Structures are given as structure tokens and as C-alpha cells.
């Protein structure tokens, strides 16, 4: 029924968005599942990262995606926050490697451009584009999970172009 199955991940220590998106040649995308992995504030970072790892590992085993698409960290002014996201990204890469699933990373600008046509789109514009332009009806309520849907959809749209350019 579906030709591609991609897990999108928006990494973070406090909240990691995860969404599995299926795509058919008819051009239809469907969110098969999504969640936001939340970790307790104040817990040691190692415990929080391990919770993300365990939950992500379970999701990979349950869904068997062909690819994991991850939003790439963009370094900003807040180095502490960037380090936390970098650690969470490492956990995502580890879980995918352990499962034998390839990972592709996409910059936030690339994700927004693929989904909305505007690399500077706001979060509400991304949600609206997913619903209206891509006809995804069952969007998750959490912003992190919506970002994960957008990352997965970006991979679905961009990967044929990357393969053709090789």
C-alpha cells in the first residue's frame, strides 16, 4: 500500500518529537504514529538521554522505517542549549545505527522550504502547510511532533532529488 516509510525526529533533551510518515506513489502522505518524548526537568542529563534512547529504540523496532530523517542542529547564540540538542542528536544517531537504519539530516531552513516553500516560515505556517498543501489530516497536537512530521516529509520530497544527483 505504501512505498516509503520514514521516521522524522526533532531532537531535544526536554522534548524530542518523533513521527512515522508513510508515502505512496499516488502522492499521499499519512502520519502513522507520532509522539513527543518528554523527560523530567531536573533529572541528570544522562538519565534524560537514556529515556530518549529507550523510547526511540522501541519506536524504531515497532515501525521499521527505511530511513530516519533528523533535523540538524544549527548553532546559535545559546551554546548550552545547542550542546543539549547535539547530545540528543547523538542518541538518535546511535539508536538508528543500532537498528541498522540509515539517517539523513536536514537543516531547519531546508525542512521549512520543503514543506512551506518558505525557509523562514513560522511554526504555525508549517502546521498550516502540512494540513493544506500536503493534505495531512491527522496532525499531532504537540509542536515537537509536528516538527518531526515536517522533517519526515522533507526527506520524502528531497531524497529522490539527492539520489538522482548521485
Instruction: Report pLDDT digits (tens) over 77-130.
Output: 666 678 888 999 999 999 999 999 999 999 999 999 999 998 889 889 999 999
Q: Which is nearest to 28 in space by CA: 137, 150, 125?
A: 137
Dist. CA 119–CA 93, nearest whole Å? 25
Q: Which of 62, 71, 125, 138 is catalytic?
A: 71
Q: What pLDDT does 164 receive?
A: 45
Say which DSSP state 73 is in: P
The percent of residues in the chain predicted with pLDDT above 70, rounded, is 90
Q: Which of 45, 47, 144, 163 is catalytic?
A: 144
Instruction: Report pLDDT digits (tens) over 53-70.
Output: 999 999 999 999 999 999
Active-site residue flag, 45 = no
Amino acid at each position: 500500500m505504501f512505498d516509503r516509510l520514514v521516521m522524522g525526529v526533532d531532537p531535544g533533551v526536554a522534548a524530542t518529537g518523533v513521527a512515522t510518515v508513510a508515502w505512496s506513489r499516488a502522492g499521499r502522505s499519512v502520519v502513522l504514529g507520532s509522539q513527543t518524548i518528554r523527560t523530567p526537568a531536573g533529572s541528570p542529563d544522562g538519565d534524560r538521554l537514556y529515556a530518549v534512547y529507550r523510547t526511540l529504540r522501541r519506536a524504531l523496532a515497532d515501525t521499521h522505517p527505511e530511513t530516519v530523517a533528523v533535523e540538524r542542529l544549527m548553532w546559535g547564540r545559546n551554546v548550552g542549549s545547542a550542546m543539549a540538542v547535539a547530545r540528543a542528536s547523538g542518541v538518535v544517531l546511535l539508536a538508528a545505527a543500532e537498528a541498522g537504519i540509515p539517517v539523513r539530516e536536514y537543516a531547519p531552513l531546508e525542512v521549512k522550504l520543503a514543506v512551506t516553500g518558505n525557509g523562514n516560515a513560522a511554526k504555525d505556517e508549517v502546521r498550516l502547510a502540512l494540513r493544506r498543501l500536503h493534505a495531512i489530516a491527522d496532525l499531532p497536537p504537540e509542536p515537537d511532533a509536528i516538527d518531526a512530521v515536517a522533517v519526515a516529509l522533507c526527506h520524502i520530497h528531497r531524497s529522490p532529488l539527492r539520489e538522482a544527483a548521485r
